[in-house]
A and B are shown apart, each in its own frame.
Chain A
Amino acid sequence: MRFFAATWLILRKELSIEFRTRELLLSTALFAVLVVVMASISFYVDVTAAEKLAPGVLWIAVTFAGVLAMGRSWNRERDQEVIRGLLAAPIPRASIYLGKATATFAVLSLVEVLLLPLVALFFQLDLLAVGLSVFLMLQLGTLGFVAAGTLFSAMSLRTEARDLMLSVVLFPLVSPSLIAGVVGTRAILSGAPFLEAFDYFEVLIAFFIVFLTLGLWLFEPLMRD
């Protein structure tokens, strides 16, 4: 079976399950909203400080919601050993990786659509002029984070210390991308020139390309043993 046909089947299956259970969307969205509300109550001082705090809160909420989503997404494959059924099928195994990563990205994108206005509300940000740029940066950061996270979540299927491995390995690896995302978002919110913010976009694009390539390349050997 062709790679993209198999990827589409995996993605469609993921979305069907999600549409039925809303498990990932509800758990991640509630968690992300909670982080934003608690952070705004704890850290909000004034509008100037809020502009500096909001990017961190936004990215922390997305990062932890993402880890939650990826963990739960792979739990579906671990339950009933479905992953063995998928790996036994005559499809390019990397299509499993890409299908699941795309589905997780779709769920997190929905969470971000909800989260961004909420952060603007709680931190009194004016997103009319820069909202699209911030959302684009979040999307690029999420692409790279999901590309890396899906690979490591899949690896964690084969280890007992799943959550520990995900935290210990994934967070240090994605920290450059997260830092670029936070600093870039802060630059956009403070009205920095487009070229300055563009540097951070480049970092996020490079990060995404590197981890997507690694994911597609390493998924099969990692799953085989």
Chain B
Amino acid sequence: MRTEGLAKTYGSTRALHHVDATFEAGQVTVVEGPNGSGKSTLLALLALLSKPTSGRIRYGTYTAAQIGAPLRAQIGILSHAPMLYPDLTGRENLLFFAGLYGVDSIRVDQILERFAVGAYVDRPMRTWSRGQTQRIALCRALLHTPRVLLLDEPSTGLDSSSIEQLIDAVIEERNRGAICILITHHDAIAGRIADQRICLQRGQVAASVIDRHDMIDQDKEPLQRTPDSR
């Protein structure tokens, strides 16, 4: 997946400016940068939730303009908000989204088993803890076995065991061959799972992408960051 001269403006505000980046299958790309640097805008564009002002995104040989809904079927998105209905139970939410993605209800049972979701799955989500909610949100994002997994600060408000589970899931998806793109301010998470890191500042790529394995071999700092990006 590749972005070419990607730009997005909201009125007079320039959210992204000429972003060129490549995201490989079977790799985790961590997108970093200070608040307002354009990270979430980039993810919204990649998820086809927003339209670029200029530039384009190539998904293999296709562009978003060429294929709409079939492309969305290949994308899973998880953010700090669970994107689930609090008045429905966890299972009802998953069955609803399974219907939208044309996924069999057996898959719902499989994914609930994979993430060891307990009996609380049949209670309305309004009564759930943050960790339980985010676990089901992860189930929703992975329900249709996406080839592109987009994660926008998914660890916000999670305890350490929930974060561990999240990291394991992302690694599993990476090993399956999915393109994983993660926005996080959590340096420890980024350091553990990033195959490449992109630092955005004021809507532009401020630091070049560095291969994690090279960084480990050369025992370097993972990314040269400017003071205000911390």
Contact = CB atoms under 8 A, between A and B. Distances in A.
B97 interface: yes
Interface in B81-103: 81-88, 92, 96-97, 99-102
A9 B69 CA distance: 17
A90 B49 contact: no
A81 B86 CA distance: 11
Number of chain B interface residues as a range: 20 to 34
Contacts of B69: 1, 90-92
A225 interface: yes
Interface in A7-56: 9, 13, 16-17, 20-21
A85 B87 contact: no
6 contacts: A16-B92, A80-B81, A81-B79, A81-B83, A87-B49, A225-B50
Contacts of B86: 79-80
A18 to B, nearest CB: 9
Contacts of B57: none
Q: Which 4 A-B pairs have the closest CB atoms?
A: A85-B83, A90-B73, A81-B81, A89-B100
A82 interface: yes
Give the dominant DSSP class at A's interface. Answer: helix
B73 A21 contact: no
Nearest to B150: A88
Contacts of A16: 88, 92
Contacts of A76: 85, 87
Interface of A: 1, 6, 9, 13, 16-17, 20-21, 76, 79-82, 84-92, 224-225
B47 interface: yes
A84 B76 CA distance: 11
B101 A85 contact: no
B82 A80 contact: yes
Contacts of B100: 1, 6, 9, 86, 89-91
Nearest to B71: A90
A76 B88 CA distance: 11
B88 A17 contact: yes
A88 B72 CA distance: 6
Given A17-B88, A79-B86, A82-B85, A88 B77 contact: yes
Contacts of A90: 69-73, 100-102
Nearest to A89: B100
Interface in B38-86: 47-51, 69-73, 75, 77, 79, 81-86
B185 to A, nearest CB: 19
A72 B140 CA distance: 24
Contact of B83 (A9, A13, A80): A80
A27 to B, nearest CB: 14
